[in-house]
Amino acid sequence: MNLLRKSLLPVSAVLMCMMPVMLPHRAAAAVYGPTLTSPVTPSRLTGVDGFIPRWSLLEPIPVNGLTEAEVQAMAKKQWFPDEYTVIPKDGQTEAVGDATKTWHAVDTRLYNVNLYHFAYSLKKPTSNVLFWAVTIVNAPEEMHDVRLAIGSNAASVWWVNGEEVVGIYNDRQTTIDDGVSKRLTLKKGPNVVRAAVVNAGGATDFCARFLDANGKPVKGLTITLSEPK
Amino acid sequence: MFGGTGSPIADQTAAQVQANWPAGVVQAAMDNYLCEAQQKWQLTAVPNAGGYPGAPYFKITIAGTDRSLAATPDNELAVVPAFTNAPEQLWRLDQLADGSFRIMPKSSTDPKNPMALSAIGASFPTLEKFDPKSDRQHWLLKTP
pLDDT tens digit string along B128-138?
A: 999 988 999 99
pLDDT in tens, A22-35: 444 555 789 999 99
pLDDT at A16 over 50: no
All residues of chain B having their beta carbon less than 8 Å from the beta carbon of residue A149 are 121
Across the range A190-219, mean pLDDT stands at 97
Name the 3-class secondary structure at B120: strand
A183 and B124 within 8 Å at the Cβ level: the answer is: no
**How high is the pLDDT of residue A133?**
98
At B37 the pLDDT is 94
Burial of A123 per CB tally in 10 Å (0-12, 13-18, 19+): exposed
Residues B120, A175: C-beta atoms closer than 8 Å = no
CB atoms within 10 A of CB B16: 12
- Under DSSP, the state recorded for B126 is E
Select from B65, B71, B7 the least CA-distant residue to B39: B65
Whether the per-residue pLDDT at A5 is higher than 50: the answer is no
* B128/chain A closest Cα distance in angstroms: 9
Q: Is B1 on the interface with A (CB under 8 A)?
A: no
Judge: A180–B124 Cβ closer than 8 Å, yes or no.
Answer: yes
- Residue B124 C-alpha, separation from nearest chain A C-alpha, in angstroms: 7
Query: Is A179 in contact with B123 (Cβ distance < 8 A)?
Result: yes
Give B 61-120 residues with CB within 8 A of chain A: 74-76, 120
Non-local (6+) Cβ contacts of A132 within 8 A are A57, A58, A61, A79, A83, A194, A195, A196
Question: Where does the pLDDT of residue A47 fall: very low under 50, low under 70, confident under 90, or very high at 90 and above?
Answer: confident
* pLDDT computed for residue B42 by the predictor: 97
Name the residue in chain B with its Cα closest to that of A69. Answer: B22
* Identity of the residue in B76, B122, B124 whose CB atom sits nearest the CB atom of A175: B122
**pLDDT tens digit string along A80-95?**
999 999 999 999 999 9
Q: Do A179 and B120 touch (CB under 8 A)?
A: no
Query: Regarding predicted confidence, which is higher, B5 or A124?
Result: A124
How confident is residue A3, by pLDDT bands cut at 50, 70 and 90?
very low
Chain A partners within 8 Å of B122 (Cβ)? 151, 175, 177-179
Rounded to whole angstroms, the Cα distance separating A214 from A211 reads 8
Q: Where are the beta strands (DSSP E) in A109-180?
A: 113-114, 129-139, 143-153, 155-160, 163-168, 179-180
- Report whether A109 contacts A12 (CB < 8 A): yes
DSSP codes, B81-105: SS----GGG-EEEEE-TTS-EEEEE
Choose between A228 and A150: higher pLDDT: A150
Residue A146 C-alpha, separation from nearest chain B C-alpha, in angstroms: 13
For each of chain B's 144 residues, which pLDDT tens digit applies?
567 788 888 889 999 999 999 899 999 999 888 899 999 999 999 999 999 888 999 999 999 999 999 999 999 999 999 999 999 999 999 999 999 999 999 998 677 788 999 999 999 999 999 998 899 999 999 987
Domains, in order of start, for chain B: 24-137 (2.80.10.50)
Tell me, what's the ipTM?
0.87
pLDDT at res. A229: 65
Domain ranges in chain A are 2-224
Give the architecture (CATH level 2) of A2-224: Sandwich (2.60)
